[in-house]
Amino acid sequence: MNLSVHTHGRSTSVFIFFLCLYLLPGNWVNAQMVSIPIETQNTAMVLEANGNKDLKVIYFGKKLTDANEYKMVPGVYRQSEDYTGIANSAYTPSGSRNLFEPAITVTHADGNNSLDLRYAGNKVEKLNDDVSITSVLLKDPVYDFEVTLFYKTYYKEDVVEQWSEIKHKEKGNVILYKYASANVYLQSKSFWLRQYHGDWAKEMQPEESKLTHGIKTLDTKLGTRADLFQPPVFMISLDKPATEDAGEVLYGSMEWSGNFRIDLELDNKDNLRIIAGMNNYASPYTLKPNEVFTTPKFLYTLSNSGMGEASRKLQRWARDYKLLDGKGTRLTLLNNWESTFFDFNESKLKDLLSDTRKLGVDLFLLDDGWFGNKYPRNGDHAGLGDWQENKQKLPNGTTSLVKDAQKEGVKFGIWVEPEMVNPKSELYEKHPDWVIKQPKRDEYYFRNQLVLDLSNSDVQNFVYGIIDSLFIKNPGLAYIKWDCNAVIYNAYSAHLKNQSHLYIDYVRGLYKVLERVRAKYPTVPMMLCSGGGGRVDYAALQYFTEFWPSDNTDPLERIYIQWEYSYFYPAMASANHVTNWGKQPIKFRTDVAMMGKLGFDIPVSKLDEKDLSFCQNAVRTYDSIKSIIYQGDQFRLSNPWNNPVASIMYVNEDKTSAVVFNYLVNDRFAQGSKLPIRLKGLDASKKYRVKEINLYPGERSTIDADREYTGNFLMTVGMNPDVNARRTSVILSVDLAK
């Protein structure tokens, strides 16, 4: 029976099944049930409140054709007894019947630690044809305490964002000890976790393992550069490890640029409980009556056809809804970091501006070292925080450089690290109380620096002011690289009364600043950098057009780093620079950087004639194919972890053009591309021509560009890029035959 009822203040449509027979282990119970399907095009999570009004996840998986059948799901499982009655809770409270990892733990105003949450209503708000928000209200029957669960569905993309709001009207403050965003429940024969770890210059190292009973926690306690050791993205394959094109796999991630915690608990019934949120480490949060505590979002997508499909859904969702200017384009650039480090002056920079023009890229990016006078920023030990141009290096300031750039016909961008301070700085001398440090303990540094206390609104104003004054001074400024090199040690704020709010209020303060920046400068491209990829997540990417995956730009290593990031983030968001890292020739380095947003960080003036000409042509080639890289669907064809050749393909929406990047990553027994590589995503019935592009000057391709192949042939038999020790990097364009 599908009835329209008034729940949660609004009239909504819910499925109510009166007095249906509900099978509990060993018991037949008559109960009134409410069923709340949270559906996307291909997937469904179904919540159900029974007569006891416990809200449970009764189904999570591929969408059923008949929604009335969801209620029969629990009846076909024969599992051991649920002693708590809430093992599959949609938001597990602690201190009452629960025996597992909770989603929420509180101490009430009267000192009592128990919480019980019962269904009190639900509603659906349709934002447009694609996006809806289902919310479910839960209330404690004893205390005036409530939680609202939110599920924002992106129908076409099969993506769900889940979060919660916590509120009470008790006669005093409540302490929140745990406050998850989401509590998900999965049933399968086995669960395989693909997780990531890393450190500086070795980000996104994958590990895959079968989850065993107990709790596996993915978390970070680093505060600012939170993802340095552990990014918030992960995959769970059901039954067996998913492959690129087969298997059921869930992608998940926290949208939070600070400490996060994701608990994966395999319970006594062999089911998986996923509880994800901000990390509660050192962070009990005091909630006043009527104050609303909103958790960040937990994001997930489920695919029945392997990792490739899940990643394409997520990339599409990111471009359509999350990444700043995800449907736009990106600027190619020349960065000076690796060619000058801190050692530059106005005349060197002028030369670099004309090199930018010579190379043919859009923008020159001035990196670290342009500021500080009392303590000049001539190394990483001084000057951070003093955002005035260094008078010796830049006697005419940034304004004159922006003008010089205009004369060269290129745009100008600048590096900042506004959340940080060197103890050797005027800022530190003036405002020691703005710095996160323990008042009675020795300071401890990460890259000779400390973190400013963004929980303090004065500090927020200061950080916002750095960006704002750069734009006020230089209306032509076209790009910001926002760096963040230090973690939080000695977490203490001179500003906060409640120290245990620092980790959370820091990130909220950062978002307030970024909101203000974007309110005034909505479209200026900004790169999210954290000494590499130490801070990438989808909450941050709402404010940034791109991120810096790693300081490691050795192209061979980079193939693996970019490959792993690509499961979760679109190529247009990945800023890839050609540098002098690694032993590969310039063509290999450039081809690898072209797989995302292309930049250069090399001394252009030292390139020999052929290398320079190659780079200039590469920029032109890139400009002609970048819309496919930015907006196309990405297909991983040959995995570098277990093949001699890595191959990755981008196909435009109407399947008329594609680009395939191929690299020799392992030359054991001189195998090269022994077998053809099967292409994907083309129109099987159409004819295509395959041509090698981005050739090094003087090189001739071994690929016959005049042949025509059907999409069917290219996807069934494949195409051989002829990768070998003489041709270590090959880019192919695939276009509809005329």
Q: Which parts of this chain interact with ligand DGJ (CB under 6 A)?
A: 337, 367-368, 415, 483, 485, 529, 531-532, 548, 551
Cα end-to-end span (Å), the chain:
56
What is the rounded CA–CA span in Å between residue 487 and residue 494?
Answer: 18
Which C-beta is closer to ligand DGJ: that of 264 or that of 420? 420
For residue 150, CA distances in Å to 38, 104, 455, 534 come to 10, 15, 26, 28
Which C-beta is closer to ligand DGJ: that of 139 or that of 393? 393
Cα dihedral: 660, 664, 668, 671 (round 10): 40
What is the rounded CA–CA span in Å between residue 454 and residue 494?
Answer: 11
What is the rounded CA–CA span in Å between residue 219 and residue 264?
Answer: 11
Which C-beta is closer to ligand DGJ: that of 423 or that of 672? 423
What is the rounded CA–CA span in Å between residue 515 and residue 676?
Answer: 49
Q: Give me the least distance between CB of 639 and ligand DGJ, in Å please.
A: 27
Token pair 């069923």 is found at 35
What is the rounded CA–CA span in Å between residue 407 and residue 280?
Answer: 53
Show the DSSP H helices in 487-596 as ranges: 502-520, 555-566, 586-593
CB of 373 within 8 A of CB of 448?
Answer: no
CB of 21 within 8 A of CB of 30?
Answer: yes
Q: Give me the least distance between CB of 447 and ligand DGJ, in Å please.
A: 8
What is the rounded CA–CA span in Å between residue 223 and residue 259?
Answer: 5
Which C-beta is closer to ligand DGJ: that of 531 or that of 640? 531
Q: Give me the least distance between CB of 551 and ligand DGJ, in Å please.
A: 5
Which C-beta is closer to ligand DGJ: that of 119 or that of 200? 200
DSSP 3-state assignment of 714? helix
Which C-beta is closer to ligand DGJ: that of 420 or that of 682? 420
What is the rounded CA–CA span in Å between residue 546 and residue 481?
Answer: 10
Which C-beta is closer to ligand DGJ: that of 509 or that of 531? 531
Helix (H), strand (E) at residue 458:
helix 457-473
Class of residue 158 by CB neighbours under 10 A (exposed 0-12, middle 13-18, buried 19+) = buried
Q: Give me the least distance between CB of 559 and ligand DGJ, in Å please.
A: 19
Which C-beta is closer to ligand DGJ: that of 137 or that of 228? 228
How far out from the chain centre does Cα 136 lie?
A: 27
Q: Give me the least distance between CB of 421 and ligand DGJ, in Å please.
A: 14
Which C-beta is closer to ligand DGJ: that of 356 or that of 485? 485
CB of 717 within 8 A of CB of 676?
Answer: yes
Beta strands in 256-402 (DSSP E): 260-266, 272-278, 285-287, 293-294, 297-303, 333-335, 363-366
Q: Give me the least distance between CB of 225 and ligand DGJ, in Å please.
A: 10
Listed residue (30, 563, 105, 551) closest to 337, CA to CA: 551
Which C-beta is closer to ligand DGJ: that of 160 or that of 578? 578
For β-strands 260-266 and 420-421, DSSP reports them as unpaired
Q: Give me the least distance between CB of 550 and ligand DGJ, in Å please.
A: 8
Residue nearest to ligand DGJ (CB): 368
Please state at what angle helix 586-593 crosses helix 555-566, rounded to 10 degrees: 10
Which C-beta is closer to ligand DGJ: that of 132 or that of 485? 485
Q: Which residues contact 497 (CB under 8 A, 6 or more apart)?
A: none
CB of 79 within 8 A of CB of 270?
Answer: yes
Q: Give me the least distance between CB of 511 and ligand DGJ, in Å please.
A: 22
Quick one: CA dihedral 364, 516, 330, 636, positive or negative?
positive
Q: Give me the least distance between CB of 244 and ligand DGJ, in Å please.
A: 30
Token pair 């059923």 is found at 64
Token pair 């930015």 is found at 630
Q: Give me the least distance between CB of 369 and ligand DGJ, in Å please.
A: 8
Q: Give me the least distance between CB of 646 and ligand DGJ, in Å please.
A: 24
Q: Give me the least distance between CB of 540 and ligand DGJ, in Å please.
A: 15
Q: Give me the least distance between CB of 599 and ligand DGJ, in Å please.
A: 10
Q: Give me the least distance between CB of 481 and ligand DGJ, in Å please.
A: 6
Please state at what angle helix 586-593 crosses helix 609-631, rounded to 10 degrees: 20
Which C-beta is closer to ligand DGJ: that of 532 or that of 644? 532
Q: Give me the least distance between CB of 367 and ligand DGJ, in Å please.
A: 5
Q: Which residues contact 86 (CB under 8 A, 6 or more apart)?
A: 54, 56, 92, 93, 97, 98
Q: Give me the least distance between CB of 575 and ligand DGJ, in Å please.
A: 10
For residue 706, CA distances in Å to 325, 618, 688, 690, 692 come to 38, 22, 10, 8, 11
DSSP assignment of 329-345 equals ----EEE-HHHHTT---
Which C-beta is closer to ligand DGJ: that of 179 or that of 200? 200
Which C-beta is closer to ligand DGJ: that of 328 or that of 379? 379
Which C-beta is closer to ligand DGJ: that of 94 or that of 562? 562
Amino acid at 190: S
What is the rounded CA–CA span in Å between residue 171 and residue 109?
Answer: 6
CB of 533 within 8 A of CB of 550?
Answer: yes
Q: Give me the least distance between CB of 529 and ligand DGJ, in Å please.
A: 5
Compute the half-sphere exposure of residue 68: CA atoms within 13 Å on the CB side of its CA. Answer: 5
Which C-beta is closer to ligand DGJ: that of 301 or that of 340? 340
Which C-beta is closer to ligand DGJ: that of 379 or that of 676? 379
Quick one: CA dihedral 240, 246, 250, 256, positive or negative?
positive
Q: Give me the least distance between CB of 417 and ligand DGJ, in Å please.
A: 7
Beta strands in 50-144 (DSSP E): 55-62, 104-107, 118-126, 131-139
Which C-beta is closer to ligand DGJ: that of 234 or that of 428? 428
